[in-house]
Structure 1
Amino acid sequence: MALFQQPATGSRRPGGASVEDHPRIARKITWVLFLSQGLSSAGFIAAFTVNALVAVDLTGRTAMAGVPGALYVAGQACGAVVWGLSLERLGRRGGLALGQVLGVLGSAIAILAVMDRSFAAFLFGLVLVGVARSAVDLGRFAAAEVHLPADRGRAIATVVLGSTVGAVFGPLLVGPTGRLAATAGGPELAGPYGVGLAGLVLAALLIVAGLRPEPRDVGRELARRYPESVPSQTTRSLGEIVRQPGVIVATGSMVCAQLVMMVPMSITSVHMTAHRHPLTA
């Protein structure tokens, strides 16, 4: 059944929405994704702030500081492939919610691993969190597909802004949650992973309850009503895509950018702790 109906009389069929409802639906979906991204990002960044510290604490070796970040990004990269192949079948709502549930599981494992001082379990939890992050990051494209081409850039920017807001507030919660964990008798470094757990639970509930109608179906309906908005080129295989010069340049740029970003993010907290700065610094 079509999501948007536009009979000559202006009436609606049961279960359908008039075409005039599309802007409202698109705005709703975009802002749900904005809030979900903000909650998820706050948890991801709060946890990432202390990943290196946990590695050093559990192993006693500063050389292990970069291992958590490496496995986190590996989980993110592998997850991106999995979600890319499965979101069409699962739907955007189902795929995003499932990814966030995996993030909740990974955060819980990380908390228990810090408490039990198990480095292997901690790394496994971070891989799951990385897989969750890759699902959450695809939410910006779910916002794009419910808009016509002229508005897709703004929709993506709005959702990315949600991630930015979360990235600003997430680190501010590291100190308070660390103190809370210590007050409860647990390790101080376990606290920030509670931010990820709580944020992802809220984000998953928001996606399940608020991401309606299904963005995939809205996108299909837009393509049916506005066929000129659909690219006319044929579908290409993954091998064909990765051989394109533009893709090669973009991939190389991302590799260099990630290298520049991950190195200081992995070592800064370790150096600050060595100089006796608290988690609130």
Structure 2
Amino acid sequence: MSERMPRPAGTGSRRSRRGLALSVLIVNQLLAGIGVATGMALAAILVADLTGVVAMGGLAQSASVLGAAIVAIPLARLAVRSGRHVALAAGYGLAAVGALLVVAAATSGWVVLVFVGLAAFGAAAAAGLQARFAATEVAAPGFEARSMSLVLWATTIGSVAGPLLSETGDRVGAAFGLPHLVGSFVFSAVAFATSTLLVATLLRMPRAGVLETDAIPDAAGGPVDPVPGLVGVAPDPGAGSAAGAEVAAPAADPAAGAGAADAPGQKPVGSFAALRAASRSPRSLFAILAVVCSHTVMVGVMVMTPIHMTQHGMSLNLVGLVLSIHILGMYGASPLMGWLVDRVGSVRVILLGVAILVVAAVIGILAPGGDVIFVPLALGLLGLGWSAGMIGGSTLLTTSVDARLRVPLQGATDAAMNVAAAASAALSGLVLGAFGFAGVNMVALLVLVPLAVVGLRMAMLRRAVSA
């Protein structure tokens, strides 16, 4: 009878720490999702009321998205220097300050300060995006995408519960003498403050950018700490028999950093330097474009859908239902996408996401404006395609480069994603006015072209290596 191999020392305690950290990330994402959704549900209406110009309401979302883009890279640097818990606490703390600024500005009538507060409010979105990468760092090997998807899934609860609390927040604010619509931002500030305390006190994680798969087996078969100076590119999770087509890049990949983690005294890699290095690898560039293009397509089409629907006589209740279907596709299906990434590989899930986004855009082009079946179907598929592209791309981004590049590259990618989304939201209005909703979806198809080109190039290089 074969003798059972002893379990490596420290495995149980390491698993316990991983479970606690992942639980904290999930609960924190739920709280932060409530904070974001509660305030942003009424931000556009609040700005329009304060300025007296309906068109100014659209700038509320733009201010928040740009704020998220501005803080993404500083938060990534803070994670490398001081740890994920410090970076996340700083992001949610800044968002709490932003919510209070909105309250103070709306009470005093300082409209400019409202936009400053909304920009700081966007730090919560940047911290939430960083939390998805943090989830991969506490995941057991082979479960990185599933851990990420659980953190994203928690956003579903917050996104649904947040708007439902808006009216309650308004009533509470009125009881304390606050102006109309301002009380919801008090709720947001409380949610963000709670998130700040939660991650600052309970979240303890490994060094930012280091995965369990970075550990090198010792002679006894147990993992040891990553060794500075290790050169190479990590294989894609799920690249087993089911995903054997995903061949890891060779060690000469330009995206490979100088070490698995920054050694003491070693100069950290900047976000833009990491982005330049990763862009020279088709595999890493494919991951970056998957995140940026999927998000840009989703935002560009989603923000114009309510306007398109109301222009064709659809009720606000139906608009709300369609947006709920869209959010369900984005976050509700994330555990499925995480499971698929870990089972069949991130590249295949990204390609699935591209196919779904293409189908959604084609339906948007061909469907009549007042159709109550195809418009909701298009928005649901749009959210589902975003989920596949975001989880597949984020996982590939994390696993396709050396640990030293991971966190700065993650920050640069999230910043690029939010800048592109802000531009997409602004330009989609012009496209809708000039070419209608079909034009908006045609532009969405064009946004996917760079992703398809890089994917084709990667496939050709893989065939060449195989040959």
Contact 2:132 2:152 in 1 (8 A): yes
1:130–1:174 distance in 2 versus 1, CA, 3 Å = same
Deviations 1:115-173 (A, max 9, x none): 11211000001111112320232112111112233111111111112111111111110
SS in 1 for 2:194: helix
Distance 1:9 1:238, change over 3 A: closer
Superposition pairs of residues 70-109 of structure 1, within 5 angstroms: 70-109=62-101
Determine if contact 1:29/1:215 at 8 Å carries over to the other structure.
Answer: no
Determine whether 1:158 maps to 2:150.
Answer: yes
Q: 1:48 to 1:268 in 2, by over 3 A?
A: farther
Task: Output the CA distance in 2 between the equivalents of 1:65 and 1:122.
Answer: 11
Q: Confirm or deny: 8 A CA contact 2:140 2:212 kept in the other structure.
A: no
Matches of 2:208 and 2:296, distance apart in 1: 34
Let me know the Cα RMSD of the aligned residues: 3.0
Give the aligned partner of residue 276 of structure 2. 239
Paired residues for 1:183-202 under 5 Å: 183-202=175-194
Q: For residue 117 of structure 1, what is the aligned residue in structure 2?
A: 109
Distance 2:177 2:308 in 1: 27
Q: Would the alpha carbon gap of residues 100 and 250 (structure 1) be closer, same or farther in structure 2, given more than 3 Å must change? A: closer
State the AA in 1 paired with 2:60. Answer: P
| TM-fit CA distance, 1:50 | 0.6
SS of the residue corresponding to residue 26 of structure 1 reads helix
**CA positional deviation for 1:191:** 0.9
1:257 corresponds to which residue?
A: 298
In 2: Cα distance, 1:265 partner to 1:79 partner: 29
Higher relative helix content: 1
Match of 1:182 among 174, 185, 206: 174
- Aligned residues: percent identity? 26
Contact 1:52 1:267 in 2 (8 A): no
- The 8 Å contact of residues 65 and 266 in structure 1, kept in 2 or not, is answered as no
**2:44 is the counterpart of 1:57:** no
1:68 and 1:103 map into 2 onto residues whose CA distance is: 15
Displacement, 1:67? 0.7
In structure 1, distance between residues paired with 2:117 and 2:132 = 25
CA contact (8 A) 1:100 1:201 kept: yes
> Residue 215 in 1 paired to residue 252 in 2?
no
Q: Mind listing any 5+ residue stretches in structure 2 that lack a counterpart?
A: 1-5, 216-222, 235-250, 258-272, 311-315, 317-467
Q: Is the 8 A contact 2:92 2:123 kept in 1?
A: no
Instruction: Flag the structure with larger Rg.
Output: 2
Contact 1:26 1:143 in 2 (8 A): no
Deviations 1:187-237 (A, max 9, x none): 12111111210101111111122112x332794676332669971551373
For 2:169 and 2:64, locate their aligned partners in 1 and report how far apart those are by CA, in whole Å.
22
Q: How many residues align?
A: 256
Structure 1 residue 268 displacement after superposition = 9.7
- The 1:65–1:174 alpha-carbon spacing in structure 2 relative to 1, beyond 3 Å, is same
Q: Which residue identity is paired with 1:172?
A: L
For 2:139, what is the secondary structure of its paired residue? Answer: coil
